[in-house]
């Protein structure tokens, strides 16, 4: 499949978590998080079908280090569904940090998927919460529209973008990640590790130029 066919019929663009708290000045800023906006917007303008995701946590969410006595951001704890990285409080429902970046072209979005809303379950992926069982409904929404290919971009490359891409592959979609429309946290080598995991799973790591955008 030529890279230039990825944004054609039967495809969708999945824009992950381009929110203020993940951009410079935000509570969980991804280095260079705001620099990807021009690339993301070019993809949005070129895509036939656009889906946005939005972290949307209640206050005192279980993934916040602040609710675990004696724990600090970026430490890991064990929870019912496995290892959980603890984060600074971020993307709290209704706050300016949870809002999309003001430069993001949101008008063309056919759907906004809000995730991480259950108080004690995190949700990196656009398809499943981190218990790997609770779905967001995005899979069915895409299938009834005849979508078989996805292009993913956004924040952060090594967390929510990677988890979404890997889940999409497991669900049977063809998946590409526009790497130059992403930025990474790179927590303890997570960027390289997730790049390898996505490649092994059959996710195509590509660029805007290769996509013809």
CA neighbor of 174 nearest in space, from 44, 16, 7:
7
Instruction: Tell me, yes or no, if 17 is annotated catalytic.
Output: yes
Contacts of 197 (CB under 8 A, 6+ apart): 162, 166
Whether the per-residue pLDDT at 124 is higher than 60: the answer is yes
d(CA 21, CA 32): 12
Q: Would you call 3 a catalytic residue per the annotation?
A: no
pLDDT, tens digit, for every residue of 94-121?
999 999 999 999 999 999 999 999 988 8
Chain centroid to Cα 120, Å, comes to 19
pLDDT of residue 35: 97
Pairing of strands 109-115, 82-85: unpaired
Average pLDDT of the segment spanning 134-151: 96
Q: Which of 3, 17, 89, 139 is catalytic?
A: 17
Strand partners, 111: 51
Whether omega for the bond prior to residue 156 falls within 30 degrees of 0, making it cis, is yes
The angle that helices 190-201 and 162-170 make with each other, rounded to 10 degrees, is 20
Residue among 143, 139, 136, 129 nearest 170 (CA): 139
Strand ranges, E, within the chain: 11-16, 50-55, 76-79, 82-85, 109-115, 149-155, 174-183, 204-206
Residue 1: pLDDT over 60: no
pTM of the model: 0.93
DSSP-derived 3-state class of residue 209? helix
- The active-site residue, picked from 23, 55, 115, 153, is 115
Residue-range domains of the chain with CATH = 3-62+88-211 (3.40.50.850)
pLDDT score, position 4: 67
How does pLDDT run across 18-75, given as a tens digit for each residue?
999 999 999 999 999 999 999 999 999 999 999 999 999 999 998 899 999 999 999 9
Q: Is the pLDDT of residue 2 over 60?
A: no
- Residue 147 reports pLDDT greater than 70: yes
Task: Please confirm, yes or no, whether 55 is among the known catalytic residues.
Answer: no
Q: Which of 3, 160, 174, 191 is catalytic?
A: 160
**Of 61, 166, 164, residue with least CA distance to 118:** 61
């Amino acid at each position: 499949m030529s890279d230039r066919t990825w944004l054609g019929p039967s495809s969708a663009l999945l824009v992950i978590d381009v929110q203020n708290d993940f951009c410079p000045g935000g509570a969980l800023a991804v280095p260079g998080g705001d620099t990807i906006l021009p690339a993301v917007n070019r993809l949005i303008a070129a895509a036939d079908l656009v889906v946005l995701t939005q972290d949307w946590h209640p206050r005192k969410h279980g993934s916040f280090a602040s609710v675990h006595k004696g724990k600090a951001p970026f430490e890991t704890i064990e929870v019912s569904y496995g290892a959980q990285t603890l984060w600074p409080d971020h993307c709290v429902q209704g706050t300016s940090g949870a809002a999309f970046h003001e430069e993001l072209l949101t008008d063309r979005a056919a759907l906004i998927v809000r995730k991480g809303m259950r108080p004690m379950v995190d949700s990196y992926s656009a398809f499943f919460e981190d218990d790997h069982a609770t779905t967001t409904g995005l899979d069915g929404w895409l299938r009834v529209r005849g979508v078989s290919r996805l292009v993913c971009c956004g924040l952060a490359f090594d967390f929510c973008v990677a988890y979404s891409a890997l889940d999409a592959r497991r669900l049977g979609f063809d998946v590409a990640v526009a790497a130059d429309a992403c930025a990474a946290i790179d927590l303890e080598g997570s960027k390289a590790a997730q790049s390898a995991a996505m490649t092994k799973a059959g996710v195509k790591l590509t660029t805007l130029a290769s996509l013809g955008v």
